[in-house]
Structure 1
Amino acid sequence: MVSRWVVINIPAWLLLVALVILVAGGAVLIQMIVRRRFPKLTQDAHNDATRFAYGVIGFVYAFFVGFMVSALWSQINNEDSQARSEGAAAIQLARDLTVFDTADRDRIRLALLQYERAAVAEWPIAASGSDYPQADSTLQDLYAAYQQVQPRDDTQKIFLAASFRNLEKMYQARVERVIQACTDEGPSWLLWSVILLTSGLVLGCSIVFGVEQPRIHYTLVATVGVLVAVNLFLLLELGHPFTGALATSPEPLRDVIHVLSPPSS
Structure 2
Amino acid sequence: MARWFVISVPPWVLLAGFIVVIVGGTAVVQAGVRRCFPRLRRGEHNEMAQFVFPVVAVVYGFLIGFLVLALWGQVNSADQATRTEGAAAVQMAQGLHAFGKADGERIRQGLLAYGRAAAAEWPRAAAGRTTPGAENALKRLSATYEAIKPRDDIQRSFLTSSLASLRDLSGARTTRLLQARTNTGPPPSLWLVILLNSGLVLWFAVVFGAERARMHYVMVAAVSVLVAANLFLVTELAYPFVGVFSTSPEPLNEVVRVLSPSR
Q: TM-score range by the shorter chain?
A: over 0.9
Q: Report which stretch shifted further, 154-163 or 220-229.
A: 154-163
Alpha-carbon distance between aligned partners in 1 of 2:221 and 2:117, rounded to the nearest angstrom: 47
What whole-Å deviation, never above 9, does each CA across 1:113-138 have from its counterpart, x for those lacking one? 11111111222212134332221111
Aligned to 2:236: 237
Counterpart in the other structure of 1:167: 166
Render the CA deviation track for 1:42-69: whole Å, top value 9, x for unaligned.
1110111111111110010001101111
Unaligned runs of 5+ in 1: none
Query: Superposition pairs for residues 24-39 of structure 1, below 5 Å?
Result: 24-39=23-38
> What letter matches 1:44 in structure 2?
G
Q: Which residue of 1 aligns with 2:179?
A: 180
TM-score by length of 1: 0.96
Mean alpha-carbon deviation: is it higher for 122-131 or for 23-32?
A: 122-131
CA displacement 1:208-261 (0-9 Å, x = unmatched): 110111100110111010000000000011111111001112211111111101
Aligned partner of 1:152 in structure 2 is 151
3-state DSSP of counterpart to 1:242: coil
Q: Deviations over 1:93-114 (max 9, x none)?
A: 0000110121111111111111
Matching residue of 1:199: 198
Aligned to 2:251: 252
2:96 counterpart letter in structure 1: L
What is residue 261 of structure 2 aligned with on the other side? 262
1:73 aligned partner: 72
- Find the counterpart in structure 2 of residue 93 from structure 1: 92
Q: Output the CA distance in 2 between the equivalents of 1:126 and 1:222.
A: 40
**Aligned-partner Cα distance in 1 for 2:66–2:182:** 23
Q: Which whole-Å CA distance do the structure 1 matches of 2:128 and 2:118 have between them? A: 15
Query: 1:130/1:81 Cα in 2 relative to 1: closer, same or farther (>3 Å)?
Result: closer
AA at the equivalent of 1:249 = S
The aligned counterpart of 1:18 is 17
**Which position in structure 2 is the counterpart of 1:127?**
126
Change in 2 beyond 3 A, CA 1:186/1:13: same
The equivalent residue for 1:63 is 62
- Count of aligned pairs between the two proteins: 263
The 8 Å contact of residues 26 and 202 in structure 2, kept in 1 or not, is answered as yes
Letter in 1 for 2:51: F
1:1-50 Cα distance to aligned partner (Å, 9 max, x none): x2211111111111000000011111111111111111111111011111
Q: Is 1:136 matched with 2:135?
A: yes
Give the whole-Å Cα distance in 2 for the aligned partners of 1:77 and 1:107: 34
One-letter code aligned to 2:212: Q
Q: Distance in 1 between matches of 2:243 and 2:220?
A: 29
Q: When the two structures are superposed, what TM-score results if normalisation uses the length of structure 2? A: 0.97
Displacement of 1:153 after TM fit?
1.4
Q: d(CA) in 2 for partners of 1:67 and 1:185?
A: 18
Per mean C-alpha deviation after superposition, the further-off stretch among 43-52 and 118-127 is: 118-127
- Measured in 1, the distance between the counterparts of 2:224 and 2:148 equals 64
Q: Secondary structure at the match of 2:236?
A: helix
Unmatched tracts of structure 2, length 5 or more: none
Tell me how far apart the structure 2 counterparts of residues 151 and 130 of structure 1 sit (CA, whole Å).
36
